[in-house]
Amino acid sequence: MEKAEIGLIGLAVMGSNLALNIAEKGNRIAVFNRTTSVTDEFYESAGDLKKQIIPCRTIEEFVEAIRPPRPIIIMIKAGEPVDQQMAALQPHLSKGDIMIDAGNANFRDTMARFDRLKDTELTFIGMGVSGGEEGARHGPSIMVGGTEESYKRVEKVLTSISAKYNGEDCCAWLGTDGAGHFVKTVHNGIEYADMQMIAEIYGILRDGLGKTADEISKIFGDWNKGRLNSYLIEITEKVLAAKDPTTGTAMPDIILDKAGQKGTGKWSVIEAQNMGIPATAIEAAVAARSLSSMKEQREAAEKIFGAPTNEFPMTFGADLLNDLEMALFAAKIGAYAQGFAVMAEASRQFDWSLPMPVIAKIWRAGCIIRSQFLDEITSAFTKAPDAANLVVTPAFSDMVKESLPSLRRIVSAAVTAGLPVPALASALGYFDAYRQARGTANLIQAQRDFFGAHGFDRVDGKDIHHGPWGSGAQG
């Protein structure tokens, strides 16, 4: 039998669709899944693409079915399963074979895997893939980490399956070892912030203004034709319009308000904190998901404190809708600025040379945060690749100036009405602090010096670094 050019392990949502995508692009692919019935079902449902697919029931059979040197994509549950799968695979591989972990790995695990394989004749790639089921099937965004030489060996197949934006591949080599998985993690951190901010605007419309799911769906539909045009706004319109087939109720109204999370948002925040880079909107979004999961505590607290009773202090109409749209836009700029700032610092700390314009480019299509907006980020970073922050680039500083008053009005109104808007408020607080030349940390420095003799720098540059706190000061 003619051998496959590539192999793929893991036939759940992502792996099965990626395998069909690879097969459809004319590549012969061998597939394997731990539970063999899944492999059988996948093969049986592959239709015309069956002729491109070699279903394998054992690892030995799988490795044998691929022409060496073998590129093997591992698309399984992230974490320990990947180490187990790699350990099971490794004894069967030979010189030059490439294991490609395409799941949502923590980049620190990816670095450790590179380290473990460095004295072997095998090659490893850590690759972030975004786009969910549809992206995997028809064109995901692909973020590759590893040696450039190893990327060159798989570039043709990866670019053949990736999404395209105006004919350009949404697939790129981003740097060595954990670079690809780091970028995917930050992508997801931004995704969390984007989703949370959309949910907060939905909350204002539902709880502050009494709008139905259908009415809110139409509003998001209108916004999707403007500057907020994006996949997440598009699906928000759709999910709000969907009805429960048995009751006819709007789907969002029958879904429990507890958000799941698998870790990538939290990792973005942990790494941002480790590096001292503020990512306040992402932090707020992760915390909001955690708070959402405390359903019983929230129900008990509402019994004690009551639901908010203050009216939303703005009248529904075109001006308010414009403010809501612009507020979401301003907050979105903040979240993306924070995500890119986190990647810029990681690039320095891990010596990756992450190409910011390229990252923005490959996120324009295929991935969950895809949008027109990312094309504007691409051009801002292309013109100013070393900008300290997206918000100070000429194009984005103009957008912030235009949209910030709306964000301020909406956050103020939501706070007055007692509606939670933690991510919108965090983005606003970030802008306000970022553009404040003289902040209030002078007082914190004085307090630190008072209680801990930690010292401070003076505004006049003089060489006296402790205060005259006298006998009240603690050592």
Ligand X SMILES: NC(=O)C1=CN([C@@H]2O[C@H](COP(=O)(O)OP(=O)(O)OC[C@H]3O[C@@H](n4cnc5c(N)ncnc54)[C@H](OP(=O)(O)O)[C@@H]3O)[C@@H](O)[C@H]2O)C=CC1
Instruction: Check: CB of residue 54 under 8 Å from CB of residue 65.
Output: yes
Give the interface segment with ligand X, choosing from 29-37, 117-125, 329-337, 358-366 (CB under 6 A). Answer: 29-37
216 lies in the site for ligand X, by CB under 6 A: no
Active site residue 191: yes
Question: How far, in Å, CA of 378 to CA of 396, rounded?
Answer: 11
DSSP state of 208: I
Cβ 205 vs Cβ 237: under 8 Å:
no
* Residue 80 beta carbon to ligand X: minimum distance, rounded to whole angstroms: 7
Structure tokens at 376: 């504007």
Residues engaged in binding ligand 5RP (CB under 6 A) = 104, 130, 132, 188, 191, 260-262, 264-265, 368
Tell which residue, 137, 162, 151, 196, has the closest CA to residue 365. 162
- Per CB under 6 A, does 78 bind ligand X? yes
DSSP 341: H
Q: d(Cα 232, Cα 249) in Å, to the nearest integer? A: 22
CB closer to ligand 5RP, 203 vs 263: 263
| Token pair of 415 as six digits | 């706070």
Q: Does 59 bind ligand X (CB under 6 A)?
A: no
Phi then psi for 458, rounded to 5 degrees? -100, 150
Q: What residues from 114 to 133 belong to the interface with ligand X (CB under 6 A)?
A: 129-130, 132
Catalytic residue (choose from 155, 156, 191, 325):
191
**According to the binding rule CB under 6 A, does residue 38 interact with ligand X?**
yes
Active site residue 303: no
Q: Residue 261 touches which of ligand X, ligand 5RP, none (CB < 5 to 8 A by kind)?
A: ligand 5RP
CB distance 171 to 371 below 8 Å: no
- Residues with Cβ within 8 Å of 51's Cβ and at least 6 positions away in sequence, in order, are none
CB of 96 to ligand X, least distance (A): 24
Q: How far is the CB of 103 from ligand 5RP (least distance, A)?
A: 9
Which of the choices ligand X, ligand 5RP, none does residue 85 contact, using the CB cut-off of 5 to 8 A by kind?
ligand X
Catalytic position from the list 118, 152, 184, 332 = 184
- Name which position in 53, 75, 209, 400 contacts ligand X (CB under 6 A): 75
Q: Which residues are part of a known binding site for substrate?
A: 104, 130-132, 187-188, 192, 262, 289, 448, 454
Q: Which residues are part of a known binding site for NADP(+)?
A: 10-15, 33-35, 76-78, 104
Residues assigned a catalytic role: 184, 191
